[in-house]
Structure 1
Amino acid sequence: MRFQEVFWKKSVVFVFSGKLVYNRGMYSRQFREPPEHLVQNGKAHFGCYEGVSALTDIRGMRAPYAGVPVPSIISNLRIKSRLEYVFSLKDFIGLSQFYDFKVLGLGEIIFWNKETGKKYVYHTIMTPRRRFVPVLTTKGICASYKRSRFIKISWGRQHKHHALTFKVKGDNARPNAEGYVYSPLTDDMHTDSLFVSPSPASMRCSATWFSSMKTLGHIAINGEPVQDSEGLGMMILNRAYYKFHSKSSSVYGIGNVHNKNIVFYINTSNMDAADSDSYNSNILVVDGKKTALPPVYMTHPFGIDKNWIIQDTESMVDLTFTPLSVNSRTLNLIALRTSYYTMYGTFEGVLLTSDGEKIILKNFPGMLHKGMLRL
């Protein structure tokens, strides 16, 4: 047969007299209107959504573990949450995180001086409470109220408001620090997206709310006087049915290229959907316009603290991350063990938008987080 047409994923392969001609379409996922409820009648509304539902509540999945119909009050205990606020100001770049493990919570603020590369790290363990990370998206507060470790992330989505406030005491190894970062009301970089994915199959789900924004704020070391500066930020809230042993890697790019504001978030884990081409939470925002990115592979062939290679199979993501400063931590608390690395560094490479525009990155600032959790 002299002519044959074969469809494979998004490629069309034409065979003419034994010669192959490829016509590869661009990867795309369409943003839809978010559902009122993420889970109904034991099933999740999987998809990629423009905006976000009023609640990031994923309780009620039918038999999420091994298909065994255990009471939901038991399976709901496996739902864990993670809240992240990433920011970049004139002098500092950093990340604040909260983990909600039901029985306790973990909080952290880590930031680096962009010019000197010096890092500042402050941790806190929060005693049990009903819920650390709220499910309400219209407004909410997640905070550690200790005098020595006051850290608060808040939001009021109806007013395009996100904020990070902290005041932490130092010790022999680190100074006192305080700061706040907030998004202005007139923010053309503000976006809201919701990703609801099988995790890894349809019996379990993972919901991720992503927001990008412009920011204003400052960080003061040892009470030194400083002025507010402009910058960029993103907030990520994830809620999922966790495995007993979970691993994940995330990269956060945040900066400016040729007067364009650019923010991207890329994540991969052992809880990714089996059909990760259709369901993942990877996203690129350029001047307020969103592009849903394909799944990626992250490798570090020369060691965790050396270059990371981040690539996809759709020619939309081709990055190298070079760590400049690495912070690692291991925590063992009875049945909980967590180990992770948080790195500040730079990206080199290319990202492709949904319009086919190439975003060429060189010495582009960002962070990488690699974590392991055993429950």
Structure 2
Amino acid sequence: MEIKIRRKFADDMKDPHGSSGVALVMACFFFLIFSAQLMQTAVSASWPDCKFQCEANDVTVSHLWLGDGRGSDISSGAPGEKVPCYLWAEFHNNANSPRHAVILLADMYINGTLSRSFYDDGLCVLDSIEPKATTAYPIYSLTWSYGDKVYLSRLVLSWETASKTTCSNANRKCSNRNTKCYGGDGTEYVVETPLVARFSFSGTGCRSGGVSFLDGSTGGFGPYAYNWDFGDRSKSHEKNPSHIYKNPGNYTALLQVTDQSGRTASASQELQVQSCSCLIAGENSACLDRIETYRVSLDGSLPLACQWKINGSDAIGSVSEGGVSIDINWQDYGPGQHDLQAIVMNKDGTRELGNCNMIVNVQEMPVATITMMI
């Protein structure tokens, strides 16, 4: 039986048109295609998609920052202002011998959006680094907007130990580098950027309980120390303070932040604390011996509290409805023009919401005279 099978196989090979020969040719063809696909998959699944097991940590990243062409710090600027710069990295060799062909893999994010990936083939940053040495390298040039947050994700730094290996002949193979590395998929490194102070605020409406300030400072070395000046001689050292302005009007709020290195940055904004629409209802022409009632409204509704003044001094009168209404005997002030003013306050009397006035003409009662004709 074995002899017959072998003879049959040999005969089919001699006759490629036989059924077994055709099947064999087809099998070989599909085998070659499958093998090519396996090889292609193996290539694409290799460098740089290695399963890095970084425990050596011979060469590490000690510092990441934005600098100029020489690596010096960028000067301060206004939020949103654009400046050309470089992403610099400082590397340190902890080993007792040189390390060669140091390759960086990383994704660079700006404000949470992927801006640049070095995972295409890896960026060879150093031909070699001497033992116990520290050196810096400009990784990437970019145009940066002051206040943007920059960080590197999935950072992996790998190297080789073979001498005479440089960036030009580096072996980009997982077998050479998957343990001779630093970092890993879960690593994230914040890039030091220039300190930028900025803030936002809300609650400037006429009935607001106070203005809330929200810090948005970035860069430098946190945490920061805060120095707020609200423009009315009031200050605060809180991160996100609230402040009650006693009077409506225009103010300049200033924030100065100081980071752990002693650098400072400042930002200021103009804000307008609005005054509510105030109206006094009552007679603007009064008689000297009459008692008149005046009532104040704020934006069409009754306010919470009110102070009344006549000619700049506290008014003499009977106050009701929490100060919203006042009865004035004009005999106490005499004839002439008088300036009646209502200052509307919040409930606890700490903030002026609005003020309004009315000019009242006070006249003496006419004296009736009788002329008798004889």
Please report the TM-score for the alignment, with normalisation by the length of structure 1. Answer: 0.21
Name the structure where strand makes up a greater proportion of residues. Answer: 1
Please report the TM-score for the alignment, with normalisation by the length of structure 2. Answer: 0.21
Name the structure where helix makes up a greater proportion of residues. Answer: 2
Larger Rg: 2
